[in-house]
Amino acid sequence: MEQVLGAIRHAGARGIGAPIIIVMLLAMVILPLPAFLLDLFFTFNIALSLVVLLVTVYALRPLDFAMFPSMLLVATLLRLALNVASTRVVLLEGHHGGDAAGKVIEAFGAFVIGGNYAVGLVVFAILVIINFVVVTKGAGRVSEVSARFTLDAMPGKQMAIDADLNSGLIDQADARARREDITREADFYGSMDGASKFVRGDAIAGILILMINIIGGLAIGMGQHGLDLATAMRNYALLTIGDGLVAQLPSLLLSTSAAIIVTRVSDAEDLGSQVSTQLLNNPRALAITAAMLIMLGLIPGMPNLVFLLLGGAVGGLGYMVAKRKQQPRSEPETVSPAAAPETGSELRELSWQDVQPVDVIGLEVGYRLIPLVDREQGGQLMNRIKGVRKKLSQDLGFLVQSVHIRDNLDLSPNAYRITLNGVPVGESEVHVDRELAINPGKVFGELKGAPTKDPAFGLDAVWIDAAQRDQAQTMGYTVVDASTVVATHLSELLQSHAHELLGHDEVQQLLDNLAQAAPKLVEDLVPKLLPLAVVLRVLQNLLQEGVPIRDMRTIAETLAEQANRTQDAGALTASVRVALARSIVQQVIGPVGDIPVVVLDPGLERLLQQTLANAGDDGAGIEPGMLEQLQRALQDTTRQQEINGHESVLLVAAAIRPWMAKFARHSVPGMRVLSYNEIPDNRQIKVISTIGRNQQGA
């Protein structure tokens, strides 16, 4: 009970801040405040504005201060409430002069402008012009543009997140967090677009309040208190201008904060770090500036000492920056085992340890790509590859082996090569200092950069500078960095060669894991009913046809049931596919009710069955002309299905499905081949095209 009461008290303490602020604002507007409270609130207003400005300067990115629009509204309302409270005191007590409205207003009226209301009017006008015409107007325009471009770039950013998620570079939690960041960013810039109107309205209100206070003060002082024009002008004008300056200083600070936060580029650096790394990190610019200042300092009649001192300081800064850049960076030396010197005077005797086994999965990189795999240099490729292995292992159903990475001086500096069992299966080039803008099929403009092809999917792409990222996403491009390009290419190659990654050890591990839940099933299957090699071949066949092997229990039960009838891996694979029919159709089509399929003409299907029955599964007896026409018809159908946004599924008889699947895999990669007995009972087929009416006579 005490814990519950404590939680209620804690929640009440946290939620009482907003009502207190609202009550305080209403009190300042309705109740007359003594001069001491006015001084206290004016000082608090200045301190609050300074805190907001400094938090804005030290924020690493705009979203780190996401509550800024709300803070801007509260600060503006506080300042306007103070204006109402101070106006009441000035008009009621202004005929006494001096500190009638508090020490803060008196100090700004007497010390800042020297007690001269004419000077005060000029200073106030200048502050208002700076705030209203320059800072507020520019910040409002930037807010409008940022909000529009942020909303326009949201689809491209969402596509980039989906691409990283599908390639295994990030998991669901990371994708959810990145989507929330995009939503918060859009909300932030949309709020800033509206919040900039608060600042603009506050500047206009400051001008009107000053004019109303001076006119009202003169009328009250001369009409009610019998003051002459000079005395009334001196008393009320000084107090009003001091009040306006006290309000304009926090207003200018908040306007500057708004301008800084909307002009910031999202980066992992605060404003001071960006100035030091981007503005003061160019020794050539500093040297030229120093030379021009020194030349101006040598001209007779100019303030020589000031120009020469500042020119020397800038020149010294440029010299230190140039000297720091010339210092060589210490890089770790890597010694290849093959180049290591022998310790003895004679070569040692060779052994089996000198015969290095080939890597199952290898990644070779040129020397310019080494920063991608070096964590000390900020390389993210290692983490991306781990994400790819995790995603593929979950999708395929077995643990994908580690990727061995090494540099290869025989490759071009920006090239990489992916190998399987020591044989290259893919290679391309990437640029570490650029990003790849991929055209997903519909973009709204062209980008300046080096045109290329996406190595994973073969899409048109452009290598662009990192500064063009937001522009490219706004145009509809999917923008990824070099590490993502390599990781995505690796993911696609491993997925298409998954059957080559599965070996005896992996199958034995799968059976050992299954034995923990179904020990009798595994004990009866291997080696009593089937040898391990046959089970391996069946699993490789499934992976080669794009069927995951996650459901090992169903696969093992089907093999145990069919092992007494046949030991042929092809026939066993067909039986397993029937058992996994629901999973296969779900993977290919999804949860739709009707399955759109393409079928063969009955005459062509019978001809293929007869030919394959006589010539064997290799299809050696089929005429080349008929194969060419069949391939062309399948390609046209697949292309039309892609245009319509559907998967291309060919439905054939079970006897010819293995040969048709192999034929489609090499000739029409986008088509999936199913047999009639692989359609689940709860699904209906919908024939959308019939192929082969003319092929059988070829």
Distance CA 4, CA 223 (A): 63
Q: So what's the pLDDT on residue 313?
A: 85
Confirm whether 274 is domain-assigned.
no
If asked whether residues 565 and 485 sit together in one domain, one would say no
Q: So what's the pLDDT on residue 348?
A: 67
Has residue 334 got a pLDDT over 50? no
If asked whether residues 143 and 253 sit together in one domain, one would say yes
Confirm whether 464 is domain-assigned.
yes
Has residue 536 got a pLDDT over 90? yes
If asked whether residues 294 and 410 sit together in one domain, one would say no
Written as one letter, the residue type at 460 is D
Q: Which CATH number fits the domain that encloses residue 488? A: 3.40.30.60
Has residue 342 got a pLDDT over 50? no
Distance CA 485, CA 472 (A): 16
Distance CA 323, CA 32 (A): 64
Q: So what's the pLDDT on residue 343?
A: 45
Has residue 102 got a pLDDT over 70? no
Q: Select from 462, 496, 530 the last residue of a domain.
A: 496
By C-alpha distance, which of 347, 387, 489 is closest to 429? 489
Contact 613, 620 (CB under 8 A): no
Residues in a beta bridge with 49: none
Q: Which CATH number fits the domain that encloses residue 687? A: 3.40.50.12790
Has residue 332 got a pLDDT over 50? no
If asked whether residues 681 and 573 sit together in one domain, one would say no
Contact 222, 228 (CB under 8 A): yes
Q: So what's the pLDDT on residue 616?
A: 62
Confirm whether 228 is domain-assigned.
yes
Q: Which CATH number fits the domain that encloses residue 533? A: 1.10.8.540
Distance CA 174, CA 626 (A): 50
How would residue 681 be classed by pLDDT, with cut points 50, 70 and 90? confident
If asked whether residues 477 and 531 sit together in one domain, one would say no
- List the domain range (segments joined by +) for residue 690: 592-698
Span 437-466, average pLDDT: 91
How would residue 3 be classed by pLDDT, with cut points 50, 70 and 90? very low
Has residue 235 got a pLDDT over 60? yes
How many other C-beta atoms lie within 10 A of the C-beta of residue 124? Answer: 22
Over residues 168-212, the pLDDT tens digits come to 667 777 888 888 888 877 777 777 777 667 766 777 777 787 777
If asked whether residues 142 and 190 sit together in one domain, one would say yes
Confirm whether 673 is domain-assigned.
yes
If asked whether residues 82 and 174 sit together in one domain, one would say yes
Confirm whether 275 is domain-assigned.
no
Q: So what's the pLDDT on residue 39?
A: 78
Has residue 341 got a pLDDT over 60? no
Has residue 274 got a pLDDT over 50? yes
Query: What is the residue-averaged pLDDT of the chain?
Result: 80
If asked whether residues 100 and 129 sit together in one domain, one would say yes
Q: So what's the pLDDT on residue 330?
A: 43
Q: So what's the pLDDT on residue 604?
A: 87
For residue 52, give the H/E element and its range: helix 35-58
Which residue would you say has higher pLDDT here, 34 or 393?
A: 393
Confirm whether 522 is domain-assigned.
yes
Over residues 550-607, the pLDDT tens digits come to 999 999 999 999 999 999 999 999 999 999 999 999 888 877 778 888 999 888 888 8
Distances (CA, A) of 152 to 353, 444, 471, 477: 59, 11, 10, 12
Contact 595, 685 (CB under 8 A): yes
First-to-final CA distance of the chain? 87
CA 557 to the chain's CA centroid: 44
Has residue 337 got a pLDDT over 50? no
Helical H segments across 458-601, by residue range? 469-474, 482-496, 498-501, 504-517, 519-523, 532-544, 552-562, 569-579, 581-588
SS3 399: coil
Q: So what's the pLDDT on residue 110?
A: 63
Span 605-627, average pLDDT: 77
Has residue 492 got a pLDDT over 90? yes
Q: So what's the pLDDT on residue 436?
A: 94
How would residue 412 be classed by pLDDT, with cut points 50, 70 and 90? very high
If asked whether residues 140 and 181 sit together in one domain, one would say yes
Q: Select from 438, 461, 496 the last residue of a domain.
A: 496
Which residue would you say has higher pLDDT here, 140 or 432?
A: 432
Output the CA torsion 213→219→224→225 (10° steps): 70
Confirm whether 419 is domain-assigned.
yes
Which residues contact residue 184 at a Cβ distance below 8 angstroms, ignoring those fewer than 6 apart?
Answer: 63, 66
Distance CA 680, CA 584 (A): 10
Distance CA 195, CA 274 (A): 26
Confirm whether 620 is domain-assigned.
yes
How would residue 639 be classed by pLDDT, with cut points 50, 70 and 90? confident
Q: What would you measure as the largest C-alpha separation in the chain, in angstroms?
A: 124
If asked whether residues 559 and 644 sit together in one domain, one would say no
Token pair belonging to 518: 């179904």
Distance CA 587, CA 591 (A): 9
Cis peptide before 527 (omega within 30 of 0): yes
Q: So what's the pLDDT on residue 621?
A: 65
If asked whether residues 421 and 471 sit together in one domain, one would say yes
Q: Select from 539, 555, 579 the last residue of a domain.
A: 579
Q: Quote the number of domains for the chain.
A: 5
Span 44-59, average pLDDT: 82
Has residue 5 got a pLDDT over 80? no
Has residue 11 got a pLDDT over 60? no
Has residue 1 got a pLDDT over 50? no
Which residues contact residue 378 at a Cβ distance below 8 angstroms, ignoring those fewer than 6 apart?
Answer: 371
If asked whether residues 92 and 47 sit together in one domain, one would say yes
How would residue 443 be classed by pLDDT, with cut points 50, 70 and 90? confident
